Amino acid sequence: MKFIDEARIEVIAGDGGNGVASFRREKFIPKGGPNGGDGGRGGSIYAVADRNLNTLLDFRYTRILRAQRGENGRGGDCYGKGGEDRTVRVPVGTVVTDADSGALVADLNRDGMTALIAKGGQGGLGNIHFKSSTNRTPRQFTPGEQGERLTLRLELKVLADVGLLGLPNAGKSTFIRAVSAARPKVADYPFTTLHPNLGMVRVNYDRSFVIADIPGLVAGAAEGVGLGHQFLRHLARTRLLLHLIDIAPQDEAADAAADARTIADELRKYDAALYRKPRWLVLNKIDLLPEAEWEAHRQQLLQTLDWHDKSFVVSAVSGKGCRELTLEIMNYLEQAAKEDDLTATLPENESAAGHSNASLD
């Protein structure tokens, strides 16, 4: 199935039915009075998050969504039937915004979450509402209101606790295969990953987290080089970023420190908030170096980058160091969740301490 993570649609809610002016006409009742009913309300359009979906592909072909119009009122005090609402299923993690103003309409980040994205119009009033002691034969009625008509932008941001960053062929797909049941494509050429992949990392029977792998970034991604940087949106909801670095590149001219700064640069250009997220360095492919050289390579890189946050050495192919890294991640996520719970209970004028990252500038 093709992965589509953004779409533009037009939603047209149903118009309300018109009210009607009508009078009771029966034998032996010469002055029956007004009996025109109200129009029915127009149908609304709702979006509901469905965990069984993982792409916005359906909206590539269905770009206009309409709800049913309300029926007009009728005589004999008969009200028109309301239009049927329409429900649209979207993947969990879909953000709905107004395409014209950019205003947030809904953030559907939980399975089953429902949001109104276009409200149907109210039905018009029949003449029974206009009778009074001085107006015994009202001929007034009101038309139904028009339903909302909007152009919306749908943007899918996958839900994951941890995100993987790195240049093409840094070993991100191999790493996610090593620590989870996900099986993304792995090959010896760049850009084998063309869309995000999610994997569930189970530390033990009751402790797990979700990790996201996105296509590799290259210098100039913000200007559209490579696959661009649009896939970075899928890391917006993560708590922690893992920056994978090839510690033993085949190209002898490659500079791991410069490559690390390239990724940091692209993060900053895309979103300052994403750049400020906690980020750990993961030096991959240590199986290609003698064990005696691992620590020397690590210390040299950390010193060049002036890096003071956490760093790890792993081999995604052999699994060396992966178990220790996943345990450390699990502990970090659990601690972060506890801090969030504590922050939620603090008075408004207090705040919990945040995390900081060493700069790669």
Look at residue 268 in the predicted model and tell me its pLDDT.
84
Inter-residue contact 71 to 43 (CB < 8 Å):
no
| Cα–Cα dist 261/24, whole Å | 81
Q: What is the CA radius of gyration of the chain?
A: 29
Largest CA distance in the chain: 110
Q: Is the model more confident about 150 or about 200? A: 150
Inter-residue contact 56 to 163 (CB < 8 Å):
no
Q: How confident is the model at residue 353 (pLDDT cuts 50, 70, 90)?
A: very low
| Cα–Cα dist 104/112, whole Å | 19
Inter-residue contact 304 to 334 (CB < 8 Å):
no
Whether residue 351 has pLDDT greater than 70? no
Phi, psi of 175 (to 5 degrees): -65, -45
pLDDT tens profile 235-260: 888 889 998 888 877 766 777 788 88
CATH superfamily of 162-345: P-loop containing nucleotide triphosphate hydrolases (3.40.50.300)
Over range 35-43, report the average pLDDT: 94
Of the given ranges (126-130, 196-200, 333-337), which has the lowest mean pLDDT? Answer: 196-200
In the structure encoding, which two tokens stand for residue 351, read together? 């705040």
Q: Where are the domains of the chain?
A: 6-156, 162-345
- pTM value is 0.75
| Cα–Cα dist 187/96, whole Å | 35
User: Domain 6-156 maps to which CATH number in 2.20.25.90, 2.70.210.12, 2.130.10.30, 2.60.120.1270?
Assistant: 2.70.210.12
